[in-house]
Structure 1
Amino acid sequence: MGMMVVARRVEAPADEVRYEFGFEDKFDRVLTINPSTLETRVDDGDFNTAASAITAKIVNARRSAGDFPARMMFAS
């Protein structure tokens, strides 16, 4: 069975980037990325497969484009 995780960037302090994310369009979790170190954390503490997959897509897009994307989707 496949998985689709979506994320959208939300307002955050200058020293971090935040995304609401979840399965399909259920933005029920928050991912925080330090833009200097690219260290990540999930507010609920459960850095599971969905969090890992969307984080990898966001970080790769940032490395390619030089900025964090407004939206991102991972599908498998």
Structure 2
Amino acid sequence: MMVVGRKVAETEHEVRYEFGLDRRFDRVLTIDKQSWRAVPDDGNFDSAAGAVATKVKRSWEQQGTFPPGVVFSS
């Protein structure tokens, strides 16, 4: 499985990533910067959404900024 996400918007309070399997960016994940609550627009928090949220948070912890993109493969 390969999940790819790319940042499409960032405000003071949240960041949004388009993501999907095999570079099909057909879903959007919104992450609240204060609580780290990650919510997919389709309401389906599955392994793909979890993978993107985890990769984004790890990158933020290491770099201090939200990455322009993330890739998860297993």
Query: TM-score of the superposition, structure 2-length normalised?
Result: 0.94
Greater strand percent: which structure? 2
Distance 1:46 1:58, change over 3 A: same
Q: Kindly state the Cα deviation for residue 23 of structure 1 after the two structures are TM-superposed.
A: 0.5
The aligned counterpart of 1:48 is 46
1:40 counterpart letter in structure 2:
A
Separation in 1, partners of 2:60, 2:10: 16
Separation in 2, partners of 1:66, 1:13: 15
2:38 counterpart letter in structure 1:
T
Unaligned runs of 5+ in 2: none
SS at match of 1:11: strand
Q: Post-superposition, which runs of at least 4 consecutive aligned residues in structure 1 deviate over 4 A?
A: none
Unaligned runs of 5+ in 1: none
